[in-house]
Structure formats: structure tokens, C-alpha cells
Structure 1
Amino acid sequence: MKQAVLVLLAKGLKDDTIARRLGISLRACRRHVSELLETLGAHSRFEAGVIAERRG
């Protein structure tokens, strides 16, 4: 699930759009985004997308 969130996050989608596309609650989506930012060591959503793209 986190990989799917990350892919959509890297595309610049907002939390509510990501949640709708994946069929999860907005709260669950925000939790996934928060955990991804922490795991990647990113300080912003944009930075998380850049890091993810670099890592493949």
C-alpha cells in the first residue's frame, strides 16, 4: 500500500485524491504519507517524491 501511495504522491496528487484512488480513508492515507516522509528522511512531500524517483 505504501508503494502505491508513494507513486501517487510523486505524481503530485493530494491526500484526498490518493485516498479516493486507493479506496482508503483520508486518515489512513495521511498516516502512510507521514510514515513515508519519516522513512525517506524527507522534510516535504515534494522532497519525498524526488528521493523516491532517485531510488527507483
Structure 2
Amino acid sequence: MILDALGSGLTDASAARRLGVSLRTYRRRVAELMAVLEAGSRFRAGLRAGELGLPRTPQ
């Protein structure tokens, strides 16, 4: 779900509302995801997720 939010182009605040979490929680989860993917940017995290074949939830 975080990957979907990152790829949606929404602001952090909008993505957090969509997921039903606080802005702080959303940003923490994004940071955790970036660390796991060893990505220095959100863009790179998306690329890395694609390289690894991580699934996105269908829209």
C-alpha cells in the first residue's frame, strides 16, 4: 500500500489520509521502506521495487 501511495503522485498528507494513518506514521513507513530497498530517494525506491518485482495492489 505504501508503494501504491508513492506511485500515485499524492502529497504525503493526502496519501496518509487515503491510508488512514497519521502523516508522521506515513513518513516513517516510507523511510523504513526506503531503507529496506536501500534506496536514497523515493523515486529510486519505486525503481528498486519494480526491479524486485514487488506487487502493487490493483487499482
Q: Deviations over 1:1-43 (max 9, x none)?
A: xxx0122213333211210110110000000000001000000
For structure 2, the residue ranges without an aligned partner over 5 or more in a row are 54-59
% identity of equivalent residues: 51
Q: Which has the larger radius of gyration?
A: 2
Aligned amino acid, residue 45 of structure 2:
A
For structure 1, the residue ranges without an aligned partner over 5 or more in a row are none
List, as ranges, runs of 4+ consecutive aligned residues in structure 1 with deviation greater than 6 Å. none
Aligned amino acid, residue 50 of structure 1:
L
Aligned amino acid, residue 24 of structure 2:
R
Are the counterparts in 2 of residues 19 and 29 from structure 1 also a CA contact under 8 Å?
yes
Larger relative contact order (CA 8 Å, sep ≥ 6): 1
- Structure-2 residue corresponding to 1:35: 32
TM-score by length of 2: 0.78
Report how many residues are paired. Answer: 53
Q: Does 1:9 align with 2:10?
A: no
- Structure-2 residue corresponding to 1:25: 22
